[in-house]
Amino acid sequence: MLSTLNESQQKAAQHIDGPMLILAGAGSGKTKTITTRLAYLISIGIDPSSILTLTFTNKAATEMRERAFSMIDKNTYPPLLCTFHKFGLLFLKFHISQLGRKNNFVIIDSDDKKRILKSIDKETTTAVLSSEISKFKNSVVSIAEAKASAQDKLYMQIADVYEKYENYLEQNNLVDFDDLILLTYKILSTNKELAKETSEKYRYIMVDEYQDTNELQYMLLKKLCDQHNNLCVVGDDDQSIYGWRGATIKNILTFGETFENTLIIKLEENYRSTNKILFHANALIEHNRDRLGKKLVGTRGEGNSIRVYESQDENEETRKITEDIKKLISNGESAKDIAILYRVNALSRALEEGLNRANIHYKLVGGLKFYERAEIKDLIAYFRVITNANDNFSIKRIINKPKRGIGKMTIDKLELESHKKSKSMFSIIKEYTPDELTVLVGKKNSRTLKVFMASVEDLQDVLEDTKMRFIDLFEDTFDFKSTYAKVIDAEDRLANIDEFYGYLRDFFIKNIDLNLEDFLNEISLESAADAISDEYISLMSIHASKGLEFKHLFIVGMEEGFFPLVGDGSNIEEERRLGYVAITRACDELTMSFVHSRFYKGRRTQLVKSRFLTESDLIKGSLTIEKNSAFKKDDLVKHKIFGMGRILSVQKAGKDLKLNINFGGMKRDILSSFVEKI
C-alpha cells in the first residue's frame, strides 16, 4: 500500500506515535496520504477501534472511508471515520445524561433554529441572531460572558435572546448543530474521568482540513488528546479561507508549539497543475507573512503560460471568455472541464447573460442564478408593482419589505377583500377612505398602507418624468437596502442589489425609447433562457471551488475592490490565500481577467487592476510588497556552527535572503540557505 506514495507521503503514512502536521499543498495527494496512513496503522496491528478520523463534510468522510477500507481486510472492525458533528452526536447519545438531559434529544436544523429565534424576538433580524449565537457557541462564550461583554443595545438584546433560546432548547430537549460539539466539550471539561477514558479509547486521532478548524474544535481535540499526543493533522495554511465563518488559522500555524515534539512533513509535489501555473501560485502566496512556508513543485511539465485579459468593461470581458469557451468546446473539450471563478457573486450577472446569448449551457455551483436570488426577486416584484399596481402576487411579496408592521393577517384580509370586490389589493388601498380601510385592517395599518400607495404613485410619476432619477428616488423612498443590511451575507446581497441598479441604469442609457416594463420583460426572457443539457460549464465563487479542479479555468474580476476585497473587515492575507486557491484549481490552462470599469455600487466606476496580478509575477507593476520566504523578523533559526539564534532583519540577496541573526549576543549576516527554521 505504500508503493504508490512518494517519499514524503510514505514518511507521513508510516509515522505512528507523537504529534504530526502534514502540511499538504494543493493537489499534493493529501487524501491519498491520510487514507493510506489509516490503513497502514491497522495493518501493523493497531486496534481499529482506537483510531478516530475527523473530517468536515460527509462527502469527504465517505470518500476517505471507501479509499481506506479498500486497502484493509474486509473482516477488520471498521475504525470510526466521521465529521466532527457526527462524532459529537454519537458521544452525546451515550453521555448527555451528564448534563441532566435525556438521550432522546432532537437535533434541529437551521430553519427550526430561525423559527425558534423568531418566536423569541420578532424585531431583530433572525439571520443576525442565528449567526451571533453560533459565534458565541463556537468561541465557547457563555450566556453570562455574552451579557458582560455586550457593548451596545443590539448585543445586549442578542445576549438576552441567547439566554431565552438556550432555555427553550433545554426545556424541549433539543440541540442545534453547534451544540453537538459544544455539549461534548462541556461534558469532557467537567468530567475528568470520562475525559481520560475517552482519550484512552481513541489513542490515534487524525484530522483532515485542519486549517478550517475553529476555537471550539481545537479545544475538543485537546480534550481528546488528554492522555496521549498521537494527533495527526492534515491541512494547508495557504488554503485557510474561512476566517469569516470562524475558522482560526492560528490552529495550524501554532500546532508545532501547542503539541511538543511535532513532526512536520511537507507534501510539496503537485500532481494537478503545470509548472507555469504553480510558479505564479507560489509567487503570489510568498507575499503572506502568516504562513509556515512551502513551495509547490510540479510533476506535469511546463505547460502553457497564464493569459491575462485586459478589457474596457464586463461586456467585453464576457465576450472574450465566451469566444474562448466556444472554441474549446468546438475543439472537442468537455464543458464539465471548464469553469469561471469570481470573488464577488454579483459578477455572475454579466457572465450569465453572455453565456445565454452565446447559447453555452452553464450551472451555478453553490449559489442561485442571479435573477433567482431573494433580494433580486424582491426588487423585480417592487418594479412590477410600480409598472402594474394591480399585480397582487408582487404586492404580497413586498408589502412588508422593508418591515412596515404589515403582518400575514392584514395581507390575508386585503386579499380576501380583493376577491370579494373583484378589485386588486392596491385598488382597495387606494379607493377605500381611511375610515373604511381602518375597519378592514386597523388604524395603524391603514395609515401605513396609504403611505405605501402614495409612494408607489409618486414613483410612477417620476418614471413618466425622468427615468434616470428613478433608481435614486426608489431607494430614498423605500430604503430597500436596509432589508438586507444586517443579514449574515449582507455584503454579497448589497453588491447584487447595486449590480441590478447599475444594469437598469445602463439599460435606460442604451435604450432611450424603452421603459421599465420593457426592462422587466427582457430579464424575464433572459432568466428563462436556460436550455436543458447534460454538459455544463461551471460558474462559481472561489470559496465554492475549493477542493475542485478544472482543465480550463477563467478567473474574472481581477481588480482592486473586487479581488482582493478591500475595506472594513477584509483580511488581505486571507484574500491572498483565496487567490492561491483560485490559481491552483487550474490543471492545464488558466486565464485571468481584469477590466477598466464595472458597475460598482450601482454606478459605472473606473477600476485599478488587482495587486495580485503583480504579486504573482504575471504583469509588471509599480506596486511592490516585501516577500516572505519562510523567514521573517523574530523567527528562531538554527545554524550548524553558531547554534540557535533569532532573526533581526531580512534582506533580499539575489535569489536568496540575507538574514541578520542574533546568536546569544553575537550578530551575524548569514544567507537563509545556511540556516533552518526552528
Q: Residues 210-230: pLDDT tens digits?
A: 999 999 999 999 999 999 999
pLDDT tens per residue across span 177-202: 999 999 999 999 999 999 999 999 99
More confident residue, 584 or 242: 584
CATH topology for 297-369+530-615 is: Rossmann fold (3.40.50)
Q: What is the mean pLDDT of residues 101-111?
A: 85
Instruction: Look up 132 and say whether it is catalytic.
Output: no
pLDDT tens per residue across span 585-595: 999 999 999 99
Output the pLDDT for position 568.
62
**Domain chopping of the chain, boundaries:** 7-88+184-267, 106-172, 297-369+530-615, 370-529, 636-677
Catalytic residue among 9, 33, 55, 239: 239
Contact partners, residue 139, CB within 8 Å, separation at least 6: 214, 215, 216, 246
Give the pTM. Answer: 0.74
| Residue 114 scores a pLDDT above 90 | no
pLDDT tens per residue across span 38-87: 999 999 999 999 999 999 888 888 888 888 888 887 777 788 999 999 99
Catalytic residue among 11, 14, 31, 526: 31
* Span between the terminal Cα atoms of the chain, in Å: 32
Average pLDDT value for the chain: 89
- Alpha helices, DSSP H, located in 225-367: 250-253, 255-258, 275-285, 314-330, 348-357
| Residue 517 scores a pLDDT above 90 | no
Instruction: Look up 239 and say whether it is catalytic.
Output: yes
Gap between the Cα atoms of 499 and 346, Å rounded: 6
Q: What is the mean pLDDT of residues 628-634?
A: 65
Catalytic residue among 178, 208, 317, 575: 208
Output the pLDDT for position 90.
92
Gap between the Cα atoms of 365 and 537, Å rounded: 10
The 10 Å CB-count burial string (b at 16+, else e) for 588-609 is bbbbbbbbeebbbebeeeebeb
| CATH topology match: 7-88+184-267 vs 297-369+530-615 | yes
Please state which of the four CATH numbers 1.25.10, 1.10.10, 1.10.3470, 1.10.540 is assigned to the domain occupying 106-172.
Answer: 1.10.10
Instruction: Look up 209 and say whether it is catalytic.
Output: yes
| Residue 630 scores a pLDDT above 70 | no
Instruction: Look up 47 and say whether it is catalytic.
Output: no
Output the pLDDT for position 626.
40
Catalytic residue among 294, 585, 598, 632: 585
CATH superfamily ID and name for 370-529: PCRA; domain 4 (1.10.486.10)
Gap between the Cα atoms of 72 and 74, Å rounded: 6
Gap between the Cα atoms of 578 and 343, Å rounded: 8
Strands 269-270 and 307-311, sheet pairing = unpaired
Least confident of 251-265, 354-368, 387-401, 477-491: 477-491
Backbone angles phi, psi at 220, to 5 degrees: -65, -45
Instruction: Look up 373 and say whether it is catalytic.
Output: no
Q: What is the mean pLDDT of residues 274-284?
A: 97
Catalytic residue among 30, 276, 294, 609: 30
Q: Of the segments 98-102, 549-553, 633-637, which one has the largest average pLDDT value?
A: 549-553
Catalytic residue among 132, 176, 179, 209: 209
Gap between the Cα atoms of 199 and 194, Å rounded: 8
Output the pLDDT for position 624.
43
| Residue 277 scores a pLDDT above 70 | yes
Instruction: Look up 30 and say whether it is catalytic.
Output: yes
- Please say whether the structural domain 7-88+184-267 has been given the CATH code 1.10.3720.10: no
| Residue 258 scores a pLDDT above 50 | yes
CA atoms within a 13 Å half-sphere pointing along the CA-CB vector of 497: 22
Gap between the Cα atoms of 220 and 186, Å rounded: 9
pLDDT band at 530 (very low <50, low <70, confident <90, very high): very low
More confident residue, 654 or 643: 643
